[in-house]
Amino acid sequence: MKALKISEAVVRRLPVYLRHLLELKQREVLTVSSQDLGQKLNLNPAQIRKDLAYFGDFGRKGIGYDVSYLIQQIRHILKLDQVIPVGLVGAGKLGHALCNYTVYLKDNMKIVAVFDAQESKINTEINNLKVQPMSDLIPTVREKQIRIGIITVPATEAQHVADQFVEAGVEAILNFAPVILRVPPNIRVHTADFTTDLFSLAYYLSDNGKEVPAE
């Protein structure tokens, strides 16, 4: 239990641990070693032990980690032992898809409001939520105490939406638009940009694909 600064790499692995632990729990596995976890998650066991040890002594020498206890601890570390209200802007296909995931996120995060700029989308229903106009954003974020904003609008709109989220007082933003957002330093932004993933994949393709016909 030190007061070290935890690197982002560590923080990003915690949800991966959590997810696998939940699966183990469902399979009624009671205990797991860093060895086992590493095997499943393609990670070095020492790294897993070190990651967890930043936050406490969760394991037992000679035994491993109690699955339920570790779940509880990671939930606490990630602040997922409370339900976090989330807002989403952009009621397109992607926004829709994310709303459906709410089921999966259940006890951890809940999308409590959806906004869109397009007239035609407003008042349509997504997952029991009425899509609201952009003018509702700031008051609704405040009223519903929304802490995380999700942006699934076109790249050209994303900065504007981010500005409004910031003004309304969200603490963090998950941005799906392929754009680097400018926000104050106290706001955390993660970018979930699948074009980056996809384009970087191309780099690893073999060279001898169907070449451009030799000119």
What is the token pair recorded at 38? 């590493």
Using rule CB under 8 A, residue 16 touches its own copies: yes
Are 126 and 99 spatial neighbours (Cβ–Cβ below 8 Å)?
yes
Using rule CB under 8 A, residue 190 touches its own copies: yes
Pick what 76 binds: its own copies, DNA, none; C-beta below 5 to 8 Å, kind-dependent. none
Pick what 44 binds: DNA, its own copies, none; C-beta below 5 to 8 Å, kind-dependent. DNA
Footprint on residues 58-87 left by DNA (CB under 7 A): 58-65
Are 32 and 24 spatial neighbours (Cβ–Cβ below 8 Å)?
yes
Using rule CB under 8 A, residue 207 touches its own copies: yes
91 marked as part of a ligand binding site: yes
Could you give the CA distance from residue 168 to residue 164 in angstroms, rounded to a whole number?
6
Using rule CB under 8 A, residue 76 touches its own copies: no
Residue with smaller CB distance to its own copies, 57 or 104: 104
Could you give the CA distance from residue 135 to residue 128 in angstroms, rounded to a whole number?
20
Pick what 16 binds: DNA, its own copies, none; C-beta below 5 to 8 Å, kind-dependent. its own copies
Using rule CB under 7 A, residue 55 touches DNA: no
Pick what 61 binds: DNA, its own copies, none; C-beta below 5 to 8 Å, kind-dependent. DNA
What 3-state class would DSSP assign to 129? Answer: strand
DSSP single-letter state for residue 72: H
- Which of these, 17, 121, 108, lies nearest to 71 by C-alpha position? 17
- Which of these, 115, 107, 108, 64, lies nearest to 89 by C-alpha position? 115
Q: What is the DSSP string of 9-39?
A: HHHHHHHHHHHHHHHHHHTT--EE-HHHHHH
Segment contacting DNA (CB under 7 A): 32-40, 144-152, 154-162, 181-189?
Answer: 32-40
Using rule CB under 7 A, residue 40 touches DNA: no
Among 9, 103, 205, 214, binds DNA (CB under 7 A): 9
Segment contacting its own copies (CB under 8 A): 116-124, 131-139, 160-168, 201-209?
Answer: 201-209
Are 115 and 130 spatial neighbours (Cβ–Cβ below 8 Å)?
no
What 3-state class would DSSP assign to 192? Answer: coil
What is the token pair recorded at 40? 């499943």
Using rule CB under 7 A, residue 196 touches DNA: no
The footprint of DNA (CB under 7 A) covers 7-10, 33-35, 43-47, 49-50, 52-53, 57-65
